[in-house]
A = this chain, B = another copy of it.
Amino acid sequence: MYRVGEFARIGGVSAKTLRFYDEIGLLRPMRTDPVTRYRYYSAEQLIDLARIVAGRDMGLSLSEIRRGGRRSTLESARDRLRRSLALAQNSLHQIEAALATGVTGTPVMVKPRPATHVASLGEIVVGYDDVIEAERELLGLVPERVRGTTRGVLWHQCADTGSPGGEPFVEVRAMSGMDRAVEIKELPAVTVACAYARDDYEAAERAYEAIRRWMRVRPDCFQLAGPKRELCHGRTLEIQFPLASQ
């Protein structure tokens, strides 16, 4: 019979851990002195402890260990581990990229975006002033009560000319009651890399450059998937690059 301290030393865990396992009923000592409350463990219980520690090392939770080593448990734990491993890998990429490109840059974050219904004029215009004009026209055609809160510009890369074309859009909540000139389409759900800029040209350029650099550092992870989105939140601009994770 061993007391906690020695049993802990032999088993390679802390006495505190053993007390905890006792408390939650995961590994009860063979005998507990009813007067002193001292815990006494038998040598055979080293086997039980080994099973627990082995499970812990495989990333199982204590309740999974308690349920015993069922195949399905192990499989779900494996999937969980794979996912968290991918996340950690990604974090490592991020951090190494940040260290490489300088710490103080514009922050770039990744987030999933749900699908949205938007209205647009259905045409792509080139040139800054024309985009502004098109936006004004669009807002005139979509009554305020059907508008959602999101509006901005989709920037298409014209494959032939190489010059970017803009397509202003507003989110809409209802699909009817619209002028015939506007076209309703769906912005598909997608994960985007995004950066913010205060609404001036230089800041916007810096944000674009930050995302471009961010993507250049991870060419193996992400590819651009679809037109870039420029969203307008009051005075703050949000630049989104849709990503296809690869």
Contact = CB atoms under 8 A, between A and B. Distances in A.
B196 A46 contact: yes
Interface in A62-114: 69-71, 74-75, 77-78, 81-82, 84-85, 88-92, 94-96, 98-99, 103-104, 107-113
B195 A50 contact: yes
Interface in A28-83: 42-44, 46-47, 50-51, 53-55, 57-59, 69-71, 74-75, 77-78, 81-82
B103 A70 contact: yes
Given A50-B194, A53-B111, A57-B90, A71 B99 contact: yes
B59 A109 contact: no
Interface residues of A, number: 58
A69 B103 contact: yes
Interface stretch (A159-167, A221-229, A232-240): A232-240
A176 interface: no
Given A57-B90, A74-B98, A107 B12 contact: no
B50 A196 contact: yes
Given A44-B235, A112-B12, A94 B58 contact: yes
* Stoichiometry (number of copies): 2
Given A69-B98, A194-B50, A196-B50, A92 B78 contact: yes
B233 A91 contact: no
A22 interface: no
A149 interface: yes
A50 B108 CA distance: 7
Contacts of A11: 111
A6 interface: yes
Contact of A57 (B54, B84, B110): B110
A189 interface: no
Given A88-B81, A111-B12, A238-B46, A69 B104 contact: yes
Interface of A: 6, 10-12, 42-44, 46-47, 50-51, 53-55, 57-59, 69-71, 74-75, 77-78, 81-82, 84-85, 88-92, 94-96, 98-99, 103-104, 107-113, 149-150, 194-196, 198, 233-236, 238
12 contacts: A11-B111, A42-B234, A43-B234, A46-B233, A47-B196, A50-B108, A50-B109, A54-B108, A57-B94, A58-B95, A69-B104, A81-B95
